[in-house]
Chain A
Amino acid sequence: MKRTPDLRLVTLGLLAVVVMGGVGSCAAESSGEDPARWVAQVTDAHRVADEAIAAGEGEAARAALLGAAEASAPAGVAAEDARVARQDAYFRLAQIALGDDDAEGAERYAGAGLGLGVEPDVFTANLYIARGRAREALGRELEAATDYHEALKINDALLARLLGTEREAGER
């Protein structure tokens, strides 16, 4: 008995192409870029933002920093480095928004940055300060005070570490 060409096999083949294409794009998204290229993109974003702010082009600055904030780092970049780079971009976005009297936007950017992780470093402390300023501008003083307090705790720990390091260096 003659077998007609099986449309199910054709469908399977198409499904395979779609699935593999999805996997490939996932792979490309997470590991396709060279880490050095990613570093260049991060530094360029801040340079472009600086030039745009100096030229009074807030939108261009925002666009450059948003790209750096939202882009995922390639697989060869340590997660901590990627977090810090993105948080720094979100901090600058929050600062720009506060300068434009966009407190809600500033709170959103700062919140997004803090959502990437909270660590006792300068970048996390900056985000707490930016969110505190935004919440203060929105009339939420208690929440703002909490954020400022968190920033100061980190700042104090960093200062203690720095002074301890300096003390050790002085004793040698």
Chain B
Amino acid sequence: MRDVTDDDPDPDELREAEALARALERGVDPSGDLPDDAFSAAALLRYGTVDGALSDERRDAILEEVLSTARAPRVEERAPLLRWLRWLVPVAGLAGAAAAALLVVQLQTQVAPSAHAELPPPPVELLRAQASAAGRATPEAIAELDRRMRGYRGAFHGSLNERYGR
């Protein structure tokens, strides 16, 4: 145990005194050398000024120091993810709406009348002309097929008009 009558400070005491001085001056103990009780005492002394209030200059200086040394908030780290999420919701909603609209259009196409216009039965003369053209595609056979198809086409268009015409 140290002798209290010893006037020469040892290194520990010197360190604590320096820390106390800094605490009195700056109100912080970055070194961590100041024991808690001394730091508390220094804080009391520090703020034991008139009305216990900081001067404007002192307050600004402390604030400036705190802000410069404070760790930056993690907002920046989360920002890209948050920004991406903020995009994702409306874009996903828009894509979903577009997909739903396309599905409705496709369904409308698919629910077109399943029953089609009744094709008129092909006349035997047409089938004969067709068989001739398939067997031997002479110019005459082709011309006959064209002629018979003109008549059949008219009948087919008639059936379309019956089904879809006004």
Contacts and interface: CB of A to CB of B under 8 A. Distances in A.
A129 B164 contact: no
B113 A30 contact: no
Contact of B146 (A75, A84, A95, A159): A95
Given A78-B116, A129-B145, A159 B127 contact: yes
A81 B116 contact: yes
B117 to A, nearest CB: 5
Contacts of A39: 157, 160-161, 164-165
A77 B101 CA distance: 21
Contacts of A84: 119, 156
B108 A30 contact: yes
A102 interface: no
Interface in A23-38: 23, 26-27, 30-31, 35-36, 38
Contacts of B166: 36
Contacts of B161: 36, 39, 43
Interface in A2-45: 8, 12, 15-16, 19-20, 22-23, 26-27, 30-31, 35-36, 38-39, 42-43
A49 B39 CA distance: 104
Given A39-B161, A155-B130, A158-B122, A16 B94 contact: yes
Interface stretch (B6-14, B50-58, B133-141): B133-141
Given A129-B134, A159-B127, A31 B109 contact: yes
B130 A79 contact: no
**Interface band, chain B:** 35 or more
Contacts of B90: 12
Contacts of B131: 152, 155-156, 159
Dominant SS among interface residues on chain A: helix
A122 B130 contact: yes
A151 B87 contact: no
Interface of B: 86-87, 90-91, 94-95, 98, 101-102, 105, 108-109, 112-117, 119, 121-122, 124, 126-127, 130-131, 133-135, 137, 142, 145-146, 149-150, 152-153, 156-157, 160-161, 163-166
Give me the 8 closest cross-chain CB pairs, A-B, nearest first: A78-B116, A80-B116, A35-B164, A151-B134, A23-B101, A81-B116, A27-B105, A39-B160
Given A76-B112, A81-B117, A159-B131, 10 more contacts: A36-B161, A43-B157, A80-B116, A81-B163, A84-B119, A122-B122, A152-B134, A155-B127, A159-B124, A165-B121
